[in-house]
Chains A and B, each alone.
Chain A
Amino acid sequence: MMDDREDRLDNLIRDAARDYHAPPATPRAEMWEAIQASRAAARTEVRPLVVRPARSPLRLVFGIAALLALGIAIGRLSVPARGTGPAALPEQTVAAVPEAAAAEQRVRSEVATRVATDDHLTQVETFLTEFGTRPTAPDFTAQAQDLLTDTRLLLDSKRVVDPKTRKLLEDLELVLAQIATLDPREKNRDRDLIADGLAQSHLRTRLRNAIPAGSAIRL
C-alpha cells in the first residue's frame, strides 16, 4: 500500500521533473565556432612554449653528454678489466674484436638509456603524485617544463626503442605540456581537470609498472 503510494509519487515526480531546467535546442553551430576559435587561439599561445628555442639545444647537448658519460661509467664498472692488450689475445680471437667491441658499445648504450629512462620516469612519477595530491597548487609549471624537456630529449634520442616505453613517454609529454602551459588565471580549475584526466588514464599506475623496483635509490 505504502509502496504503491511511493511508486505513484515517484512517477509523478519523474514526469514533473522533465520540465525542470528543460533544455532548449542545442546551439550547435555557435558553440562549434567558439570551440574552433578557442582551440586556434590556444595553439598560437602554446607554440612558443612547445618549441622553446632558447633552451632546447643546450639541454640537448648536456643530455647527450650525460647519457654518454653514464654509459661509459657503467661499461667500465660492469666489464672486467683486461690486463693485456689486443696483441696478447690468441690469434683466432683477433678478428672477432671489432664485433665484440661494437656489441659491448651497444650494450653500454642500452644500459645507459635504460638507467636514464628509469631515473626520469621515477622523477615524473614523484612529480605527478605530488601534483595530484597537493591540496594547494604551488608553481608546478617550471618543474613540468624541465621534465617535459627531458621527456622530449629521451623521445628524440631514438635509443628508447621499446614501443610501450615510447608510448608512455608520449603520453607523459602530453600531460606535462598541459601542466607546463597552465593558465595562471585558471590554474586551480585546469589543475583539477588535469588531475581528473590523470586518474582516468591510469598514467601513474602505468608509470609505477614501468619503473623497476629500487629505481628511486639507484642514482
Chain B
Amino acid sequence: MEPTSLVARVLAGEQDAERELYDTHVDRVYRLIYRMVGDGDLAADYTQDTFIRTFDRLAGFRGESALSTWITSIAISVVYNGQRKVKRLRAREVDLEYAEPVAVPQREADPDLKGKLAAAIEELPAGYRTVFLMHDVEGFTHLEIGSALGIQEGTSKAQLSRARAKLRQQLAQYAGDKAS
C-alpha cells in the first residue's frame, strides 16, 4: 500500500487504516525512542504520544518527506520535550546537577567495554547522541536523519563524525588490545 493512499484512508476515518499505519511504523519508533531514553515506561509513553500527535496532525502531512521520516521527527520532538520535563523533575528530586539522561545506571564501576561505552554515549551532547544512535545503532540514513531533525545531511554527517571521535577518545584504551 502506498503511504499516500494509507494516509488518505486514515483521513477518511477508516479505523483499519489507522491500525495499519500504527503497525507499519510502531516498531521503528519504539526502538528509536527506547534507545534514546532507556526506560520501558517512558518509551511506551513517548511512543503513544507520538502516534496521538501523528493522527491529530496527519491532515497537515504534505508528503514532502517520507511518512516514516515525518513520524520520526514527531517522535524526536516528543522525546526532547519530554526529557526536558523529566530532567527538570529529576533535578528537583535529586541533587544531581548533570543527570541529563533519564535512566542512567551506575556505569562508572563497570569495567568492560560496553559499560564504558554506555557511559561515554551518555556523556555525548544530545544532538551527537541522537545522530549516533540513529545512524550507527538503528541504521537511519543521513538523509532521513537530516529530515527528521530539521538539519542538513552534511550536518548530520559532521555530528556523527564528532560523536565517533569523542567515543574513540573515551575508549582509546581499547584501540590497542581488543580492536587489534
User: In the complex, which residues of chain B have a beta carbon less than 8 angstroms from the beta carbon of A178?
Assistant: 56
- At the interface, yes or no: A99 with Cβ under 8 Å from chain B? no
User: In the complex, which residues of chain B have a beta carbon less than 8 angstroms from the beta carbon of A42?
Assistant: 52
Q: Is A23 a contact of B31 with CB atoms below 8 Å?
A: yes
- Total count of chain A residues near the partner, CB < 8 A: 43
Cβ proximity bits A102-124 to B, threshold 8 Å, 1 near / 0 not: 00000000000000000000000
CB-contacts of A123-142 with B (<8 A): none
Of the candidates B43, B73, B117, B121, which one forms a contact with A23 in the assembled complex, judged by CB atoms under 8 Å apart?
A: B43
Cβ proximity bits B76-114 to A, threshold 8 Å, 1 near / 0 not: 011001100100000000000000000000000000011
- At the interface, yes or no: A146 with Cβ under 8 Å from chain B? no
CA gap between A170 and B175 in the complex, in Å: 58
Q: Is B179 a contact of A8 with CB atoms below 8 Å?
A: yes
Knowing A12-B174, A16-B113, A26-B27 are in contact, say whether A192-B59 is a contact too (CB < 8 A): no
Knowing A16-B117, A20-B118 are in contact, say whether A203-B60 is a contact too (CB < 8 A): yes
User: In the complex, which residues of chain A have a beta carbon less than 8 angstroms from the beta carbon of B178?
Assistant: 12
User: In the complex, which residues of chain A have a beta carbon less than 8 angstroms from the beta carbon of B77?
Assistant: 192-193, 196
Q: Is A28 a contact of B62 with CB atoms below 8 Å?
A: no
CA gap between A8 and B85 in the complex, in Å: 38
Cβ proximity bits B52-82 to A, threshold 8 Å, 1 near / 0 not: 1101110111101000001001100110011
- At the interface, yes or no: B6 with Cβ under 8 Å from chain A? no
Q: Is B175 a contact of A19 with CB atoms below 8 Å?
A: no
CA gap between A174 and B85 in the complex, in Å: 26
CA gap between A26 and B55 in the complex, in Å: 19
User: In the complex, which residues of chain B have a beta carbon less than 8 angstroms from the beta carbon of A200?
Assistant: 60, 70, 73
Q: Is B53 a contact of A193 with CB atoms below 8 Å?
A: yes
Of the candidates A9, A19, A30, A174, which one forms a contact with B179 in the assembled complex, judged by CB atoms under 8 Å apart?
A: A9
Q: Is B62 a contact of A201 with CB atoms below 8 Å?
A: yes
- At the interface, yes or no: B14 with Cβ under 8 Å from chain A? no
User: In the complex, which residues of chain B have a beta carbon less than 8 angstroms from the beta carbon of A9?
Assistant: 168, 171-172, 174-175, 179
Of the candidates A11, A39, A174, A192, which one forms a contact with B60 in the assembled complex, judged by CB atoms under 8 Å apart?
A: A174
User: In the complex, which residues of chain B have a beta carbon less than 8 angstroms from the beta carbon of A30?
Assistant: 44
What residue in chain B is nearest A34 (Cβ atoms)?
A: B48
User: In the complex, which residues of chain B have a beta carbon less than 8 angstroms from the beta carbon of A183?
Assistant: none
CA gap between A8 and B19 in the complex, in Å: 43
B53 CB → nearest A CB, Å: 6
What residue in chain B is nearest A203 (Cβ atoms)?
A: B60
Q: Is A27 a contact of B44 with CB atoms below 8 Å?
A: yes
Of the candidates A11, A23, A24, A35, which one forms a contact with B52 in the assembled complex, judged by CB atoms under 8 Å apart?
A: A35
CA gap between A34 and B43 in the complex, in Å: 13
Of the candidates B48, B74, B114, B136, which one forms a contact with A38 in the assembled complex, judged by CB atoms under 8 Å apart?
A: B48
- At the interface, yes or no: A45 with Cβ under 8 Å from chain B? no
CA gap between A70 and B179 in the complex, in Å: 78
CA gap between A27 and B34 in the complex, in Å: 12
B72 CB → nearest A CB, Å: 12
Residues of A within 8 A of B (CB): 5-6, 8-14, 16-21, 23-24, 26-28, 30-32, 34-35, 38-39, 42, 170-171, 174-175, 178, 189, 192-193, 196-197, 199-203
A-B contact pairs, 23 of them (CB 8 A): A9-B168, A9-B171, A10-B168, A12-B171, A12-B178, A13-B117, A14-B137, A21-B34, A23-B35, A26-B26, A26-B27, A26-B31, A31-B51, A32-B22, A35-B51, A193-B74, A193-B78, A196-B77, A200-B60, A200-B70, A202-B62, A202-B64, A203-B60
